[in-house]
Amino acid sequence: MTESVIKDRELPDLSNEEIGRYSRHLLLAEVGIEGQKRLKAARVLIVGTGGLGAPLALYLAAAGVGALGIVDFDFVEESNLQRQVIHSTRDIGRPKVASAQDRIKNINPKIKINTYNIMLTSTNALDIMRDYDVVADGTDNYQTRYLVNDACVLLGIPNVYGSIFQFEGQASVFYAREGPCYRCLSPEPPPPGLVPSCAEGGVVGVLPGIVGTLQANEVIKLIVGGGDSLVGRLLLFDAWKMKFRELRLDKDPHCPVCGENPTIHELIDYEQFCGLKKNAGEEPVEIITAKELKERFDRNDPLQVIDIREPHERAIVKFPHARPIPLGQMARRIDEFDPALDAVFICKIGQRSVFAIRALREAGYTGRLLNLKDGVNAWAREVDTTLPVY
């Protein structure tokens, strides 16, 4: 049974209006008046107001959580609207925290909302998070995921975790006082570029709604108390096959942050930890802008243009003069390249193509390799505006 995180705190009374609003909760013996008072007293921080943060914020506001904090430094884009249901078309271009705040207030004007229109970093995370009872992680990158985990362990706060990719989602509760933390599951991040982001790999729109709602359910149980939480369990969901699986998670006694002899006692440089900072000896990747590439096309310069996208992605936007060679085939097809000609590599946003260039270098290729800065989307924005940005 989960013990409530709301302890040793005087609980607020419920007004007649609140009793009417939350009556369906009050009729549940597992929640009742006491549980709803705990929800009203609770303070929950949501990191990210994207696909996972949207259902988290909507359902926790509707449930009557007294204070919600939302952290996000991003702006609403049209491509967000396929899954980030807290934002609307008229919000395109607005800060996500401002858009989310308006939507939350429309659902429940009685709750308090704290907005942080900043990036969560090692320098501000502890100061922001220490005022909350629960943190819900709606992030989409490894450096913030490890940052949230470590800060929660250091502060003794439960971390309600969720992640999504394409058709698959995960959810758990990492609470070092009662079970494992995220580092017990993943001691090290994957190498940069090995796991594509949703922006590159895609995600079915309903998936973050399902996983984010599971997270909201775990937050409510932690506040109300009772029920079986996901502490020590990793819930796996496959939306395409419509299957749930569950894995047991054990606390790692050697975990550097929550183990028996922890070595991490303060927040670290998470970009460096995740391998996102350039190594001093690493050869930089040369870039070419969309406009510069267009000029070379206009001059009829001899070029090799390589499209590393998969067939289903090339069907969205076809790139002129490009030869398709998927990323996974790059090194073994090195003989198809002419070292005497400049080779330009393209992908959606200019990230995966960097790994294609490095793979060729490691395979011993000696010709000049150029990366199209910001990828096909830059070409659509700056050169051929008849093409869609995706």
The SS3 call for residue 303 is strand
C-alpha to C-alpha distance for 58 and 81, rounded to whole angstroms: 15
Residues whose CB falls within 8 Å of the CB of residue 15, separated by 6 or more in sequence, listed in order:
none
- Residues 38, 42, 47, 52, CA torsion sign: positive
Structure tokens at 294: 């267009």
Tell me, letter by letter, the H, E, C secondary structure of 171-235: EEEECCCCCCCHHHHCCCCCCCCCCCCHHHHCECCCHHHHHHHHHHHHHHHHHHCCCCCCECEEE
Catalytic residue among 152, 198, 255, 274: 198
Strand bridging mode 243-248 / 369-372: unpaired
Burial of 22 (0-12, 13-18, 19+ CB in 10 A): buried
347 is catalytic: yes
User: Cβ atoms within 10 A of the Cβ of 352, count?
Assistant: 21
**What residues act catalytically?**
198, 347
